[in-house]
A and B are shown apart, each in its own frame.
Chain A
Amino acid sequence: MSALHDIRDWYRQEFAGHAPDMAGAGLPWLGARRRAAMELFANTGFPTRKDEHWKYTDVSPLALRQFRPADSIPVETAALAVHRLDAWQLVFVDGRYSPALSRLDGLPEGVRLTSLADRLRETPEMLEGWLGRHVGADRHGFAALNLAFAEDGAVIEIRRDVDLAKPIQLLSVQTAGQDSIQHLRHLILLEESARAAVIESFIALTPGASFSTGVTEIDLAAGSELTHYRLVQNGDDASQIDTTHVQQGRDSRYSGHAVNLGGRLLRHELDCALAAAGAECRFNGLTLARGQAQVDTHTRFDHLAPHTTSREWVKGVFDDEARGVFSGRVVVHPDAQRSDAEQSNRNLLLSARAEADSRPQLEIYADNVKCTHGAATGSLDPDQLFYLRSRGLDAARARQLLVYGFAADALARLPLDDLRRRLAAALGERLLPGTNLEGLIP
């Protein structure tokens, strides 16, 4: 217990040292929020396994270590080339916006794309109503730390009726390595009938046990449509605890795609509040975990209004001693008549020591609704294996190809062809080592 108290003191001291120099330090409302978040953290600390929502997630590797911001290593533009998509890009190095690495030329009218730190310095007024509105410090210790320490991220505003031709990529690059910590906070606001795609990419250029927190608050006004990708390709030692909240207006549509390919302890929490009639959210997740990794996906979809729809497909492949939790909570509130929810979770365990915990939870308080869910965890299908072997593929190769197919199938829902192909190639390199991948991707 004393080590856990020490860690609270550690972050309290860190906060006292940094707060006066943080972006937006002069804003009274922000200073108050940060101090309150820090107080909350100092009182409650990190969640433990006694906490119902953290029962299957041991955060002690993060809670017992003194992480601090560390100096960045200069990033060569060339090092980012393979991660850049045909998109407007904001690049963050160790949690700080890097204008030199970013590419924002040719942004159309009706789109405002800035870093959070710049906004806090220049025109912070609008942020007061948004920062911490949906993901507050009271959520858990990681969210509290984020609100207390985050000073950078992206602020994306898409005006009414604007249909963005290219996606916006928020590329987070970790270079500080061992024992470093970083916090990012994004805000994405789509006005009525706006359409956009945002890609959050996370990469690590330096190995070592690092720690990141992230919060993305999204507000979708009536009729707007956001396609949101999260691609985590950290090193195997990097840990990351992120929360995304999507507040949805009438007839808005959110399509989330999350692909986790690397990390030590990854947890992503996604909340969608389907707050007005006709709102729809879709979430498609894929995790590949190996070694000692733990990769958790926690979703909560609140059907708050009639005629709301949620769809969820989450897949995981766990090898070695890797483990993962899928917790999918769907709450259909009393007013949400004629709502429609479907959820599926499928896991493949490649080793006897790998583990997947699947926790679908449906809570239905309305009587006229359609809800289904299914979960399956197992090993490869013998019919598929026999089919491939009967075509001359040896057993080991056939197994590899089936694991690849299981994972790659989750990418079929990605509307961005370039990204889908890149990710399929990354899966191929990982799951079909030493083979020619030409023509593999359907």
Chain B
Amino acid sequence: MLKINNLKVEVEGKTILNGIDLEVNAGEVHAIMGPNGSGKSTLAQVLAGREQFTVVDGTVRYEGQDLLVLTPEERARRGLFLGFQYPVEIPGVSNVYLLKAAVNAMRTARGEPELDAFDFLTLVRARLQIMDIPETFLYRAVNEDFSGGEKKRNEILQLLLLEPRLAILDETDSGLDIDALKVVANGVNSLRAPQRAFILVTHYQRLLDYITPDQVHVLSGGRIVKSGGRELALELEARGYDWLKDEAA
């Protein structure tokens, strides 16, 4: 589904990613872990099409196609989703309006008719329940005055509505208490399917207690320095990241 080859990325002349290789197949869940500043969020945003980063080398193929030539909206319409580490506030625009616009943008891209308000509400209500979100949430401005937990739930609500093929969740677990973490994990797990893949970017292994990954990768200094199974995350929890830096050096 996703094949990253020797990806090198700069921002303002500074190298952030220094040769990433990663392959993610349909049905798999990959966790990308690493210390602060290792390039995890940059990788997530580059895959979603953030323009402030410059790709200086390497290739990214998504479903057999060059991902890097596509605009952010084209990537989204082809089933790539980024759950933001810091979801952005859009004052003046209601949450329900953005959700509906996003769902209909995907439907139009797939050649399906747009949903009307009634059908959309039916669709969204079922997912509000999974995310334990009250309906009043829909009529507030996008992420404005949302608590940290509410913002993250709203990201997963969007994930559930958009049903992407590849979901990249950037530190969705940070700042969540244990109950909110379970709700978020439950939302993600409800969407796991053979045709869908997930990349979980996280600093802590805590999230992986609830969403079991197939592979764990450690990013350090802009490179994947170690890959392994679920047990690698537990080892990182116990030993921290420093031993890997030493190993890489």
Interface of A toward B, CB cutoff 8 Å: 382-384, 386-395, 397-398, 401-402, 404-412, 438-442
User: How many whole Å from A387's CB to the nearest CB in chain B?
Assistant: 4
Q: CB distance B90 to A384 under 8 Å?
A: yes
Closest residue to B102 on the A side, CB-wise?
A391
Closest residue to A384 on the B side, CB-wise?
B88
Q: CB distance A387 to B84 under 8 Å?
A: yes
Contacts of B52 in A (CB 8 A): 382
Q: CB distance B51 to A386 under 8 Å?
A: yes
Q: CB distance B102 to A401 under 8 Å?
A: no
User: How many whole Å from A393's CB to the nearest CB in chain B?
Assistant: 6
User: Once the chains are docked, how many angstroms separate the CA of A241 from the CA of B185?
Assistant: 59
Cβ of B98 under 8 Å from chain A: yes
Nearest 6 A/B pairs, CB to CB: A392-B105, A408-B92, A405-B92, A409-B92, A409-B91, A387-B88
User: How many whole Å from B224's CB to the nearest CB in chain A?
Assistant: 24
Contact of A390 among B72, B93, B95, B101 (CB under 8 A): B72
Contacts of B71 in A (CB 8 A): 389, 394-395
User: How many whole Å from B116's CB to the nearest CB in chain A?
Assistant: 8
Given contacts A382-B52, A439-B117, A442-B140, contact A389 B72 (CB under 8 A): yes
Q: CB distance A391 to B139 under 8 Å?
A: no
Contact of B73 among A383, A389, A442 (CB under 8 A): A389
Given contacts A386-B50, A438-B117, A440-B97, contact A393 B88 (CB under 8 A): no
User: Once the chains are docked, how many angstroms separate the CA of A406 from the CA of B117?
Assistant: 24
* Best-buried of A382, A387, A391, A398 by chain B (most CB within 10 Å): A391
Contact of A439 among B50, B81, B96, B102 (CB under 8 A): B96
Cβ of B100 under 8 Å from chain A: yes
A selection of 16 A-B contacts at a CB cut-off of 8 Å is A382-B51, A386-B49, A389-B49, A389-B73, A390-B49, A390-B76, A390-B84, A391-B162, A392-B73, A392-B76, A392-B162, A393-B73, A394-B73, A412-B92, A412-B141, A442-B140
Q: CB distance B76 to A383 under 8 Å?
A: no
Cβ of B82 under 8 Å from chain A: yes
User: Once the chains are docked, how many angstroms separate the CA of A439 from the CA of B118?
Assistant: 11
Contacts of A404 in B (CB 8 A): 92-93
User: Once the chains are docked, how many angstroms separate the CA of A406 from the CA of B141?
Assistant: 11
Q: CB distance A390 to B141 under 8 Å?
A: no
Cβ of B94 under 8 Å from chain A: yes
Contacts of A384 in B (CB 8 A): 88-90
Contacts of B81 in A (CB 8 A): 390
Contact of B102 among A393, A409, A442 (CB under 8 A): A393
User: How many whole Å from B157's CB to the nearest CB in chain A?
Assistant: 12
User: Once the chains are docked, how many angstroms separate the CA of A411 from the CA of B105?
Assistant: 27
Q: CB distance B49 to A442 under 8 Å?
A: no
User: How many whole Å from A187's CB to the nearest CB in chain B?
Assistant: 35
Cβ of B27 under 8 Å from chain A: no
Contacts of A405 in B (CB 8 A): 90-93, 141
| Chain A contact residues, majority secondary structure | helix
Q: CB distance B82 to A390 under 8 Å?
A: yes
Contacts of B141 in A (CB 8 A): 405, 409, 412, 442
User: Once the chains are docked, how many angstroms separate the CA of A386 from the CA of B88?
Assistant: 9
* Best-buried of A384, A394, A401, A439 by chain B (most CB within 10 Å): A439
Q: CB distance A388 to B98 under 8 Å?
A: yes
Q: CB distance B92 to A389 under 8 Å?
A: no
Q: CB distance A395 to B88 under 8 Å?
A: no
Contacts of B98 in A (CB 8 A): 388, 391, 401
Cβ of B106 under 8 Å from chain A: yes
Q: How large is the interface on B (under 10, 10 to 19, 20 to 34, 35 or more residues)?
A: 35 or more
Contacts of A395 in B (CB 8 A): 71, 73
Q: CB distance A401 to B93 under 8 Å?
A: yes
Cβ of B11 under 8 Å from chain A: no
Cβ of B35 under 8 Å from chain A: no
Closest residue to A406 on the B side, CB-wise?
B92
User: How many whole Å from B99's CB to the nearest CB in chain A?
Assistant: 9
Cβ of B56 under 8 Å from chain A: no
User: How many whole Å from A402's CB to the nearest CB in chain B?
Assistant: 7
User: Once the chains are docked, how many angstroms separate the CA of A389 from the CA of B117?
Assistant: 22
Closest residue to A405 on the B side, CB-wise?
B92
Contacts of B89 in A (CB 8 A): 384
Cβ of B149 under 8 Å from chain A: no
CB within 8 Å of A: which of B143-198?
144, 158, 162
Q: CB distance A439 to B73 under 8 Å?
A: no
Q: CB distance A408 to B106 under 8 Å?
A: no
Contacts of A441 in B (CB 8 A): 94
User: Once the chains are docked, how many angstroms separate the CA of A405 from the CA of B101?
Assistant: 14
Contacts of A397 in B (CB 8 A): 101
Q: CB distance B94 to A442 under 8 Å?
A: yes
User: How many whole Å from B91's CB to the nearest CB in chain A?
Assistant: 4
Closest residue to A397 on the B side, CB-wise?
B101
Cβ of B60 under 8 Å from chain A: no
Cβ of B218 under 8 Å from chain A: no
Cβ of B77 under 8 Å from chain A: yes
User: Once the chains are docked, how many angstroms separate the CA of A96 from the CA of B133?
Assistant: 54
User: Once the chains are docked, how many angstroms separate the CA of A411 from the CA of B141?
Assistant: 12
User: Once the chains are docked, how many angstroms separate the CA of A268 from the CA of B187?
Assistant: 52
B19-31 toward A: CB 8 Å interface, digit per residue (1/0)?
0000000000000
Q: CB distance B97 to A439 under 8 Å?
A: yes
Cβ of B109 under 8 Å from chain A: yes
Contacts of A398 in B (CB 8 A): 73
For the A-B complex with A390-B48, A392-B76, A442-B139 known, give 11 more contacts whose Cβ atoms are closer than 8 Å: A387-B84, A389-B71, A390-B81, A391-B98, A392-B77, A393-B73, A393-B105, A401-B93, A405-B92, A439-B96, A442-B92
Contact of A389 among B76, B96, B100 (CB under 8 A): B76
Closest residue to B88 on the A side, CB-wise?
A387
Q: CB distance A392 to B109 under 8 Å?
A: yes
Q: CB distance A392 to B106 under 8 Å?
A: yes
Contacts of B87 in A (CB 8 A): 387
Q: CB distance B90 to A388 under 8 Å?
A: yes
Contacts of B140 in A (CB 8 A): 442
Closest residue to B161 on the A side, CB-wise?
A391
User: How many whole Å from B114's CB to the nearest CB in chain A?
Assistant: 8
User: Once the chains are docked, how many angstroms separate the CA of A391 from the CA of B76?
Assistant: 6
User: How many whole Å from A15's CB to the nearest CB in chain B?
Assistant: 47
Contact of A440 among B72, B73, B93, B144 (CB under 8 A): B93
* Best-buried of A383, A388, A392, A395 by chain B (most CB within 10 Å): A392
